[in-house]
Structure 1
Amino acid sequence: MIRLAALLALIAAPVLAEPVGIDADRMSVTVETPDGPIEIMREQDNEAVITGDFAKTSRACPPFCIQPMTPAEGVTTIGELELLDMLEDPDAVVIDSRTRDWFEGGTIPGAIHLPWDVITDRLGELDCEPDFEGWDCSEAPRVALFCNGPWCGQSPTAIRTMIGAGYPAEKISYYRGGMQVWRLLGLTVAAGR
């Protein structure tokens, strides 16, 4: 009878197998946010699945068309590990370029919110100075922009308008996976405020 009770307990328990790390060397990354430090790690439940809007695979195109791997010449496209490195770098800025409604539904911890449709008006927040031809962003930090994923045009549009306003393309990275892939990998999501 004891064996049967132990077997039933195992069946009812959440499926926790080997720990799910970020990579072979890191279980988590801690980033500083205005609300204090947040630990980013992957979901440890091996049965977890992506749900909601981010689980959708097909959306009307336009406007939800697959985005190019590189949104503009000189911009570097990065993955999750490179984005985590930027989140740990105090001299880099990670930007959630989505509209407020998407941002409030959850964001990458440590990201700041600069929506795609007003980002060029707010380049002063990235140490750019206004000049007669747009902005002088020679002292601006390295940035990484993201939006909802490979089908979302918000960050590619923001990147192109930033470059047009004077932000150096070589200081811009594009996290193409966005929130869809971030959630798919089970990485920590913070409240967007």
Structure 2
Amino acid sequence: MKNIAAWILGMSLSGLAFGQAATIAVGTPLNIIDTQKSVVVQTAKGPVTITRTMTPCAKNGGNLQPLVPVPGVHPVGEIEILEALSDRNAIVLDMRDTNDRVKGTIPGSVGIPYTEVAARMNELGCKKNGSQWDCASAKKVYAFCNGPVCPQSPMAIKAMTRDGFPANKIYYYRGGMLDWDALGLTSVKDEF
């Protein structure tokens, strides 16, 4: 029953995370951090208000995510992702919903939706020991989702560490598919 409730909650949050880009018009003001829509900075020419608006290339209208979602997690960029793709002790993990993954993902990545990853840590090298996970032999996980404003990877990382996955074995690619695509790096489609 508890798993069913978690699944329903996850699917509801999934709808919020994925439905935003399709329903937010270009030019719409967006939050920067939490409910904050602007930040005022002092410059040599006086105060400047920094705002954020929906753009054609934005993947969703979420809030900016921290570079380190859980203490001990390592932030990484594209070079580290490219290196991890050939590291047999690492897994590059696309934590987005399958509906986004099939539209384009990093070649060689594995897809486990963020709503399922904490329950599927056996696929990351952990073993179930009663009700606890033993992750002593876990692979290094390079986690990504839609980009800097996507909450999916941070939510999954928090769930993983809560359930016993070591934070120091998680590498967070905050740039995600937004940065990957913006840099013109190769994507593959129709991956499940």
In the superposition, the TM-score normalised over structure 2's length comes to 0.68
Stretch moving more, 81-90 or 71-80:
81-90
1:173 to 171, 174, 179: 171
Partner of 1:90: 88
Give the secondary-structure state (helix, strand or coil) at the position aligned to 2:154.
helix
Structure 1 CA distance for aligned equivalents of residues 178 and 56 of structure 2: 5
Is 1:71 matched up with 2:73? no
Q: What's the offset of the Cα at 1:90?
A: 1.7
1:142 to 124, 131, 140: 140
C-alpha change, 1:58 and 1:92, in structure 2 (3 Å) is: closer
Deviation per CA, 1:29-69, whole angstroms, max 9, x where unpaired? Answer: xxxxxxxxxxxxxxxxxxxxxxxx8703872xxxx111011
C-alpha change, 1:57 and 1:105, in structure 2 (3 Å) is: closer
Deviation per CA, 1:91-138, whole angstroms, max 9, x where unpaired? Answer: 210000001111111100010001100111111111211123520010
Contact 1:54 1:180 in 2 (8 A): no
Identity of aligned residues (%): 42
C-alpha change, 1:97 and 1:58, in structure 2 (3 Å) is: closer
Query: Which letter does structure 2 place at the counterpart of 1:155?
Result: S
Gaps of 5+ in 1: 1-52
In the superposition, the TM-score normalised over structure 1's length comes to 0.68
Partner of 1:9: none
Structure 1 CA distance for aligned equivalents of residues 60 and 96 of structure 2: 19
Structure possessing the higher radius of gyration over alpha carbons: 1
Partner of 2:57: 55
Q: What's the offset of the Cα at 1:158?
A: 0.6
Query: Which letter does structure 2 place at the counterpart of 1:55?
Result: C
Query: Which letter does structure 2 place at the counterpart of 1:113?
Result: G
Deviation per CA, 1:140-172, whole angstroms, max 9, x where unpaired? Answer: 111100000001000011111001111111110
Give the secondary-structure state (helix, strand or coil) at the position aligned to 2:133.
strand
Aligned residues: 137
Contact 2:115 2:156 in 1 (8 A): yes
Give the secondary-structure state (helix, strand or coil) at the position aligned to 1:108.
coil
Structure 2 CA distance for aligned equivalents of residues 89 and 146 of structure 1: 17
Query: Which letter does structure 1 place at the counterpart of 2:116?
Result: V
The runs of at least 4 aligned residues of structure 1 exceeding 3 Å deviation read none
Query: Which letter does structure 2 place at the counterpart of 1:175?
Result: Y
Structure 1 CA distance for aligned equivalents of residues 161 and 58 of structure 2: 31
C-alpha change, 1:99 and 1:76, in structure 2 (3 Å) is: same
Structure 2 CA distance for aligned equivalents of residues 54 and 165 of structure 1: 37
